[in-house]
Amino acid sequence: MQHIDQSSVNDASLSPDRFSTRPLPDFQQFEAWRSFMSHISDISLVDNHVQGFEVDYLSWDLGGISLSQTSLPSTAQRRWRHLPKSHMDHWCLVLSKGPDHCSPSGSSQKISFRSLTKPFEGEGADEEVVTLYLSRDLFRAEARSLDLAHGAVLKSWQSAILTDYLTVLARELPSVSRDHLAGLSAATCAVVKACLAATSDATAEAEKPIVVALRERARRIVRQNLASADFGPETLGQMVFVSRSKLYRIFESSGGVARSIQQERLAEAHRRLTQSQLKKPISALASEVGFTDHSAFSRAFKLEYGYSPSEARELALAKSLLETQIASDIPTDGAALSKGAS
């Protein structure tokens, strides 16, 4: 039975290879996944009585490097070990996400670096794994530094930058055109070199993609702290692990750090105001996104969107009522046939 689907290469966008165990009976699913990965590693289940093993796998070839994204069952603990005789003379950067009952979010993630030519064993129940495979041909000058990093779980700024970069890369690849493939591959290599085999030249080459990753990380942190009225540029810089001047350069094109934080607050307020099921007072919604002064919130909101918060809510309600009315005026097929026959 064939489980790999090679999408059409005539599409202007990048087309991933796909693999899934879902079409198979439960008792065949794990062995199918184990066989699929056998060219890289040997995988086994800690509990052999696990029923079913649903996996969805995507892989993009970027030319010399490739990125895979895998969804796995978090209920199935498994062990794996590299096969040192594998034909893949690559390094891999692995971003794994799984359940963590000690974390406030209920999940955690880590990023590690390995060489596929060296022994490595691990165990876990990750539910999502993003892996970047790196050909040695593209990193000959950095080979010694990268080999020394084998088995490392990355920390501090390297972890933050590479985690965000891989997250953005995996999210945006489906919309990337083939015309941008060479530039994307070069940018990705530059980020890896700057983080794992840093030289002044490598850092300069990676500046632009690193800024993109840091901006994404900063925006995510801002969205997580919208309710704190005291959250500002200084706190954000500490959480992103960059200096105040570096943070300002990251957001310079967006009008500055404070401006970007306010835009995130206003965007969330707008989203909540236009949800017809939410009936909270506008002042309460403003407070939830970090505005302690209702008048200041109203002025900032109108300046950003061209209408007041109350008008935003009224427009959303009117739109909802209109859509409901239109839906109720559309006859069913049976009613339409009956009307036509009379």
200 confidence band (pLDDT: 50, 70, 90): very low
- Rounded mean pLDDT, 151-155: 86
Q: Please report the pLDDT score of residue 316 as a whole number.
A: 84
Mean pLDDT of the chain: 83
Provide the 3-class DSSP secondary structure of residue 66: strand
pLDDT of 43 strictly over 90: yes
Q: Specify the range with the lowest mean pLDDT, choosing from 33-37, 81-85, 332-336.
A: 332-336
Residue 96: CB atoms within 10 Å: 20
- Closest among 58, 52, 59 to 22, alpha carbons compared: 52
> What integer is the mean pLDDT of 92-112?
81
Does this model's pTM top 0.85? My answer is no
What are the backbone angles phi and psi of residue 293, rounded to the nearest 5°?
-110, 115
Which of 89, 161, 64, 78 lies closest to 122, judged by CA? 78
The least confident of 3-7, 252-256, 268-272 is 3-7
Going edge to edge, which strands form the sheet with 78-82? 41-45, 78-82, 121-124
pLDDT over threshold 60, residue 203: no
Q: Place 338 in a pLDDT band, splitting at 50, 70 and 90.
A: very low
pLDDT exceeds cutoff 90 at 241: no
Do 209 and 167 contact (CB within 8 A), yes or no? no
Residues 6+ apart with CB under 8 A from 306: none
SS3 of the chain: helix, strand, coil, percent, to 5:
50, 20, 30
Rounded percentage of the chain residues whose pLDDT exceeds 70: 85
Tell how far CA 185 is from the center of its chain: 18
- Determine the Cα–Cα distance for residues 168 and 74; give it in Å rounded to an integer: 23
Residue the block writes with tokens 């794992």: 196
Question: How far are the Cα atoms of 5, 48, 250, 263, 335 from residue 342, in angstroms, in the given order?
Answer: 52, 67, 68, 57, 11
Tokens of 38: 């056998």
Amino acid at 21: T
Angle between helices 156-172 and 207-224 (to 10 degrees): 90
Grade residue 328 by pLDDT with cuts at 50, 70 and 90: confident
DSSP calls for 316-330: HHHHHHHHHHHHHHS
Residue 197: Cβ within 10 Å count = 17
More confident residue, 203 or 279: 279
Per-residue pLDDT band for 342 (boundaries 50, 70, 90) equals: very low
Q: What is the pLDDT confidence band of residue 166, given thresholds at 50, 70 and 90?
A: very high
Structure confidence at residue 66 (pLDDT) = 93
Least confident of 114-128, 234-248, 304-318: 234-248
Q: Is 217 helix (H, G, I), strand (E, B) or coil?
A: helix
Residues 108 and 97: beta-carbon distance below 8 Å: yes
Is the pLDDT assigned to residue 324 strictly greater than 80?
Answer: no
